[in-house]
Homo-oligomer: A and B are copies of this chain.
């Protein structure tokens, strides 16, 4: 038998750093006149660069009243390439992170995930605290050892469940108490206790407890929710321990630019090792997500990793990378795969999506995506995959998930390659065209 990653030793993990290799400011509209590629990278890009140029020109006011004082450090928006270092484990950014909510990236073994190239995946503190319980994880020396994962782990705090399990929880200033979704037993989380839980999990990146603001929300509701999340963030920062490797704050503020700016300032002031943008991908339109991200990005600290939570559609990934996001996670790519829908390059299917159950694949000898390097595409025809899906064979979930995660890994890898160039815009547009489709005409 050849060496499998399950035979390789666990690399040493210690410390945390983010090294920015290169960053780009989105060019100004005036530059776009000389270089038409720029404006075409994406409509988002156009919108973002208009927004950032407003700041460059010290236009101190926008939309619902974002005000940057002349003294405030407001950062130009643009994509970056870098590396997250966890001792011997290194993760190049921008990076997508597969989700392994309860200690398993669904349908895959840890070496499947590692073989694709991933070195950083997600766990969820709320779910792990319920099952198998953090005491058990601690007994095993943490989640890595328990699940046999040799890379790094980021754990979400349970803040998303404050929204998604709204009917099962009570929210107070002190924290949140869940009647847990498995058996109704109570589970209380506070900003401080969540640090302790994540310490026990041995998480490499801890997310602070927050409230993922529901959508839609009034300005007032979004503000009070955000402000509590900021108070919680301060308590979490205060509550970190010697075991806390790295801790990320989370920007909230609903769909309101001024609240986002205010929240970003508050999180920046707490000097976390990284900053996340939460409360997006919660039901808003893609346009709205982009608008909010444009309003948030200039207030995010430049030299820290930035993580956009819950986003994983290829077009959203490209656009958010252009706005300077370094890290992403989303269950959608793996969940869709289990439901028979995978991303493919636009050469394979112009829509970028393939529904394996479609009868057009019944006798298709080709792979899901001829340009894909994944084990599934190297080995199996669409016809076989469709047969497995129709016959409800378990194997199909693993094979489609491997493809979807490889697709996203390679999309991010190609974006990184593009962003290592001095003038990346044409390459980024070409990656976007291959993975997402032609760039839509820039909106006005």
Interface residues in chain A, defined as those with a beta carbon under 8 Å from any beta carbon in chain B: 1-4, 6-7, 102-104, 106-110, 115, 131-132, 136, 139-140, 146-148, 338, 362-363, 365, 375, 378-381, 383-384, 387-388, 390-391, 393-395, 397-399
Residues of B near A140 (CB, < 8 A) are 365, 381, 383
Residues of B near A104 (CB, < 8 A) are 388, 391, 393, 395
Residues of B near A3 (CB, < 8 A) are 2
- Complex formed: what's the CA distance from A398 to B136 in Å? 23
CB distance from A233 to the nearest CB of B (A): 30
User: Given A363-B136, A398-B398, are A6 and B379 also a contact pair (CB < 8 Å)?
Assistant: yes
Residue from the list B375, B381, B383, B390 in contact with A6, Cβ < 8 A: B375
Residue from the list B147, B381, B397 in contact with A394, Cβ < 8 A: B397
**Cβ of A1 and Cβ of B103 under 8 Å apart?**
no
Residues of B near A132 (CB, < 8 A) are 362, 383, 387
User: Given A383-B132, A383-B146, A390-B131, are A4 and B375 also a contact pair (CB < 8 Å)?
Assistant: yes
- The oligomer's copy count stands at 2
Between A7, A102, A384, A399, the greatest number of chain B beta carbons within 10 A of the residue's beta carbon is seen for: A384
**Cβ of A399 and Cβ of B106 under 8 Å apart?**
no
**Cβ of A394 and Cβ of B384 under 8 Å apart?**
no
**Cβ of B4 and Cβ of A107 under 8 Å apart?**
no
Additional A-B contact list (11), CB under 8 Å, known A107-B394, A131-B390:
A102-B393, A103-B388, A103-B391, A104-B395, A106-B395, A136-B363, A136-B383, A140-B381, A140-B383, A148-B379, A394-B397
- Complex formed: what's the CA distance from A370 to B400 in Å? 33
CB distance from A133 to the nearest CB of B (A): 9
Q: Which residue from chain B places its CB closest to the CB of A109 in the assembled complex?
A: B395
CB distance from A121 to the nearest CB of B (A): 13
**Cβ of A106 and Cβ of B393 under 8 Å apart?**
yes
